[in-house]
Amino acid sequence: GYADQSFTLKNTDGNNLAFTDKIDPAATYTLILFVKDNGEFDYDNTTGSVIDPVAMAMNEAKAPKPSGGSSSGCSAGVGILALLALLPLAAARRRK
């Protein structure tokens, strides 16, 4: 039920995390990427073989500095992973 070029993050119980769930830095998670064989992200045209460039990084969450105003932004953790999951998409489009 997952689309090509998508991902999910699972906790140790095997449950998918929602984009609004907080990440526990001490916990272990499994990141699963979905890349269709011979799809746009697959760099190998051989049927049955998928080569997909993936970039991973970790950012430490920092408390926002008080500014007197309100701000909106993505939460640390899954929000960062969502942005990282788009990196291969940008790389594939630059190559074309």
Structural domain tally of the chain? 1
H/E/C letters for each residue in the chain?
Answer: CCCCCEEEEECCCCCECCCCCCCCCCCCCEEEEECCCCCCCCCCCCCCCCCCCCCCCCCCCCCCCCCCCCCCCCCCCHHHHHHHHCHHHHHHHHHC
Range of the domain at 4: 1-63+71-96
Q: Please tell me the pTM assigned to this model.
A: 0.48
Cβ atoms 35, 42 nearer than 8 A:
yes
pLDDT, tens digit only, all 96 positions of the chain = 678 888 889 999 999 999 889 888 899 999 888 888 888 888 888 898 888 777 666 667 677 777 665 555 545 555 556 555 655 554 445 554
